[in-house]
A and B are shown apart, each in its own frame.
Chain A
C-alpha cells in the first residue's frame, strides 16, 4: 500500500523540468473549469511541467469542517497517494491549500506512517499565487488587464497561508490598477456548508462585502477562492447588480478576464 515517498527527485526531474501535480479542487472541476486551465497555463508558462492526476476528487475539507473525521482522513490519505510523487503540488484555492498545508498534520497525527509521508509532502504544497511568486519567481504573466480592480483576501489563504502580497504583486504585471476596498480582509460570509445552513446570516455578511466592493468604484473584484467567488457573485446578482465582475486571480493573470 505504501508507495515509496522518495520518487521525488528522480532522473526525469533532474534532467527535465520540475513536475507540478495540479490539484483542481472540486469547485473548479464542477463550476469553473476555465480557471483550472488558466492556472495550468500560468504554471507551464513559468517553466514547470504540469500533471493532473485524474482520480483526484476533494481535499476533504467539507467532511473535516462538518465533524466527519473518518471521511476527511480517508480523503487526506487519497490525496497523499495521488500527489506525493510530485516536486510541487499547486492548487487554485487558499481554502484547499490551507486544508492540505495546515490541517492535514493534525488529521493524520494518529498514523505514524501517514504522518511521515505527509511531513514530506507538506512543504511542497502551494496555493497558486504563492507558488508563482515564492517558487517560480515570475516577473511577468501572460494576462493584460486595462482597468481598475479591487481584491478580496480569502480567509484561509490570508490567515492560514499568509497570502497577502503575492496576488497583489502578480496583479501589477497585468497592468491592472488595484484600488483597495475597506475591510478587504473581512470574511465574505461563505464559510463552506455555513452558507447553506445559515443562508440568511451568510447573505447578510456578504452584503457588507458587496457594499465595500461597490464603494471601491472599480466594478471588478478579484479573489483567489471559488467558494467566495460563487457566493459573492450569487449575492451581487440577487441584489440586482448585474455588472460588477467577480474574477478569479488565475483568469486575470492568464489573460482570460
Chain B
C-alpha cells in the first residue's frame, strides 16, 4: 500500500473536524474497551496466562528460523506448498502466479492485514482475477472503491450504518423503500445474499493467518463471521498469507495465546469461529481445497530480530493498543497513513517503510502508557516509540526549530545560574503578557494557544519565593 504517513498532521486535522467520524469513533471506547475490561476481570488467571504467552512467544521468536523450517517441513509433508516472499510486492506476485497456474478468474478473500501491505486486490484485478472481500467490514470498504481499513480488526469502525447503507444502495441493485434505513441484521442479510453466490463461484480462497503451527504445519484462522470456512472449504485452491513472525512451535502455544486474543481484541471470551487448517483435501476426504499454498512474507520483519524493536514481533494483532489509545480514539486509523494504525502501527510503519516517511508517527503519542498496560504480549510500546524518537533525533530528521529549541533548553538547564536568571525573566514576561490570569496568544507557542489558554504564571519563581521566605 502507498505510504501517506507524511501527511499525518493534515489528515488528523481533517478527522478531528469530521463530526460524524468523531461520533463513530466513540464506539471504540464504549464497546471494545468496556468489553475487554469485563472479560479480563472475569478471568482470574489472565495475568498468569499473559506471562506464559509472552514467554512462549519469546521462545518462538528466539529460534524463528528453526520453527519456520519445521513449519515448512510439516506443511509440505501434508501436501501443502510453502512459498517465501522477501517483500510484500513479491508476495502479491506469487499469488498472481498461483491464480494463473490454476486458471482462477474468481477469488474470495478473508481479512488480512498482510494482504493490505501487498496491495493484493489491485495486483489480482490487474491480472484479471475478480476478488471479493468476504469479511463484512472489508466488503463494505471494497465496494467503496477499495477504501483502506481504519482498524486492524474492525476495519469499518469509522463508518456508521447510514453511510454503509448508502454504499449498499449504490452497489446492490435491489428495490428499496425510500427514506427507510433498515436495521443492521437486515443489512447483514443483504450482504450475505450478495456474498453467497461469490462464495459458491470462487475458485481460489485467500486467507490471512492469525498463527502458523510448526509441529503440525497448520494455519489458525480467527473470525466472527465464519467467512474463513467458506473461503477455504469451497474453492479448489487455498492460499494462506501471513508474516513470518506468526509461527508458533506447538498447538499448546496456540491454545495459550488464543485465551488472550479474542479477550484483548473484542472482549469476547472466544471468537464465533475458529479454523485450524492442515493440508489440502486428502484421499477420501469430502471437502477442502485441492491445492493449498502458504505464502510467508518477511516485509521487514526479520530486520527487527536481535535489535531494539524485536519485541514488536510478538504482536498478535489484537488491536487493544489502538482501542485504548487516546490519540487513535480521536483521529481514527486513516490518519496514520499506511496499513497499521495506532501505537503498534506507529512502530511497525516506521520500521517497515522507514523513519523518513513517518516523522510524525513516533511523536504523535501522549506516552500515557495505556497501550502497554493492555497489550496481551506486554510489548513496551511507549519505550519503542521513544527509541524511534531517539533515532529521529540522532539522524537529524526532526525540524530544525525543534532541534535548536531542544539544544538551547538543554544548554540552559545544565547551567543553574543562567537557568535561574532566564526563569525569573521568563515568568515576568509571561505575567506581563497575561490578562485576567491567562494568556490567550503566545508567539512561538501557538501550538498551545491556538486551542488553549495558558494559565498565567505567578510572576515570581518558586526559587525566588523560597529564598525570600528563608531570609
Interface flags, B452-471, vs A, CB<8A=1, else 0 = 11110110111111110100
- Decide if A62 touches B409 in the complex (CB within 8 Å): yes
Which of A66, A74, A106, A235 gathers most chain B CB within 10 Å?
Answer: A66
| Residues of chain A contacted by B330 (CB below 8 angstroms) | 201, 204-205
- Decide if A194 touches B438 in the complex (CB within 8 Å): no
Residue on B nearest A70 in the bound complex, by CB? B410
- Decide if A55 touches B453 in the complex (CB within 8 Å): no
Residue on A nearest B465 in the bound complex, by CB? A33
Interface membership of A256, Cβ < 8 A: no
- Choose, from B46-54, B69-77, B141-149, B384-392, the stretch at the interface: B384-392
With A199-B448, A201-B16, A231-B452: A155-B367 Cβ-Cβ less than 8 Å? yes
Interface membership of A147, Cβ < 8 A: no
Which residue of A26, A190, A202 contacts B451 across the interface (Cβ within 8 Å)? A202
Interface flags, A74-88, vs B, CB<8A=1, else 0 = 110010000000000
- Decide if A159 touches B368 in the complex (CB within 8 Å): yes
Interface flags, A177-205, vs B, CB<8A=1, else 0 = 00000010111011111111111111111
- Decide if A68 touches B410 in the complex (CB within 8 Å): yes
| Residues of chain A contacted by B366 (CB below 8 angstroms) | 155, 187, 189-192, 194, 202, 205
Interface size on A, residues (CB 8 A): 66
| Residues of chain A contacted by B416 (CB below 8 angstroms) | 54-57
Interface SS, B side? helix
Scan residues 141-181 of chain B and give those whose CB is less than 8 A from a CB of chain A.
Answer: none
Scan residues 53-103 of chain A and give those whose CB is less than 8 A from a CB of chain B.
Answer: 54-58, 60, 62-69, 71, 74-75, 78
| Residues of chain B contacted by A75 (CB below 8 angstroms) | 410, 413-414
Q: How far is the CB of B27 from chain A (nearest CB, A)?
A: 14
Interface membership of A127, Cβ < 8 A: no
Which residue of B327, B390, B412, B461 contacts A33 across the interface (Cβ within 8 Å)? B461
Residue on B nearest A206 in the bound complex, by CB? B452
Scan residues 395-437 of chain B and give those whose CB is less than 8 A from a CB of chain A.
Answer: 398, 402, 406, 409-410, 412-414, 416, 419-420, 423, 426-427
| Residues of chain A contacted by B393 (CB below 8 angstroms) | 66-69
| Residues of chain A contacted by B391 (CB below 8 angstroms) | 67
- Decide if B469 touches A37 in the complex (CB within 8 Å): yes
- Decide if A234 touches B454 in the complex (CB within 8 Å): yes
- Decide if B409 touches A159 in the complex (CB within 8 Å): no
- Decide if B363 touches A30 in the complex (CB within 8 Å): no
- Decide if A36 touches B386 in the complex (CB within 8 Å): no
Interface membership of A34, Cβ < 8 A: yes
Q: How far is the CB of A107 from chain B (nearest CB, A)?
A: 11
Interface membership of B220, Cβ < 8 A: no
Which residue of A185, A198, A230 contacts B364 across the interface (Cβ within 8 Å)? A198
- Decide if A234 touches B452 in the complex (CB within 8 Å): yes
- Decide if B367 touches A235 in the complex (CB within 8 Å): no
Interface membership of A251, Cβ < 8 A: no
- Decide if A195 touches B448 in the complex (CB within 8 Å): yes
Interface flags, A188-227, vs B, CB<8A=1, else 0 = 0111111111111111111010000000000000000000
CA distance A189 to B460 in the complex (A): 28
Interface membership of B13, Cβ < 8 A: yes
Residue on B nearest A229 in the bound complex, by CB? B455
With A201-B330, A201-B331, A234-B453: A64-B466 Cβ-Cβ less than 8 Å? no
With A37-B469, A57-B413, A75-B414: A199-B452 Cβ-Cβ less than 8 Å? yes
Interface membership of A160, Cβ < 8 A: yes
Which residue of A37, A204, A237 contacts B465 across the interface (Cβ within 8 Å)? A37
Interface membership of B187, Cβ < 8 A: no
CA distance A190 to B365 in the complex (A): 10
| Residues of chain B contacted by A54 (CB below 8 angstroms) | 416, 420, 463, 467
With A187-B366, A187-B368: A28-B462 Cβ-Cβ less than 8 Å? yes
| Residues of chain B contacted by A37 (CB below 8 angstroms) | 462, 465-466, 469
| Residues of chain A contacted by B426 (CB below 8 angstroms) | 30
Interface membership of A17, Cβ < 8 A: no
| Residues of chain A contacted by B363 (CB below 8 angstroms) | 193-194, 197-198
Residue on A nearest B390 in the bound complex, by CB? A67
Q: How far is the CB of B238 from chain A (nearest CB, A)?
A: 42
- Decide if A238 touches B458 in the complex (CB within 8 Å): no
Residue on B nearest A59 in the bound complex, by CB? B413
Interface flags, B308-343, vs A, CB<8A=1, else 0 = 000000000000000000110111000000000000
With A68-B393, A71-B406: A230-B414 Cβ-Cβ less than 8 Å? no
CA distance A78 to B419 in the complex (A): 14
CA distance A183 to B29 in the complex (A): 10
Which of B29, B329, B448 gathers most chain A CB within 10 Å?
Answer: B448
With A54-B463, A237-B438: A205-B450 Cβ-Cβ less than 8 Å? no
Which residue of B13, B365, B406 contacts A63 across the interface (Cβ within 8 Å)? B406
Which of B393, B410, B427, B452 gathers most chain A CB within 10 Å?
Answer: B452
| Residues of chain B contacted by A68 (CB below 8 angstroms) | 393, 406, 410
CA distance A32 to B330 in the complex (A): 30
Q: How far is the CB of B366 from chain A (nearest CB, A)?
A: 3
Interface membership of B285, Cβ < 8 A: no
Which residue of A67, A183, A235 contacts B452 across the interface (Cβ within 8 Å)? A235
With A30-B423, A33-B462, A37-B466: A205-B327 Cβ-Cβ less than 8 Å? yes
Which residue of B398, B447, B461 contacts A196 across the interface (Cβ within 8 Å)? B447
Q: How far is the CB of A154 from chain B (nearest CB, A)?
A: 9
Q: How far is the CB of A160 from chain B (nearest CB, A)?
A: 7
Interface membership of A128, Cβ < 8 A: no
| Residues of chain A contacted by B445 (CB below 8 angstroms) | 196
Interface membership of A24, Cβ < 8 A: yes
| Residues of chain A contacted by B453 (CB below 8 angstroms) | 233-235, 237-238
Which of A60, A65, A159, A204 gathers most chain B CB within 10 Å?
Answer: A204
Residue on B nearest A62 in the bound complex, by CB? B409
| Residues of chain A contacted by B465 (CB below 8 angstroms) | 33, 37
Q: How far is the CB of B359 from chain A (nearest CB, A)?
A: 11
8 more CB-based (< 8 A) A-B contacts, given A198-B364, A234-B453:
A24-B463, A31-B458, A37-B469, A62-B406, A67-B392, A187-B326, A191-B365, A234-B454
Q: 26 A-B pairs, CB-CB below 8 angstroms?
A: A31-B458, A33-B458, A33-B461, A40-B466, A52-B463, A54-B420, A57-B412, A58-B413, A62-B406, A68-B406, A74-B410, A78-B414, A159-B368, A186-B370, A191-B365, A191-B367, A196-B448, A198-B363, A199-B448, A200-B12, A200-B13, A201-B327, A205-B327, A205-B366, A230-B455, A234-B452
Please list the 5 inter-chain residue pairs (A to B) with the smallest Cβ-Cβ separation, ordered nearest first.
A191-B366, A67-B393, A67-B389, A234-B452, A203-B451
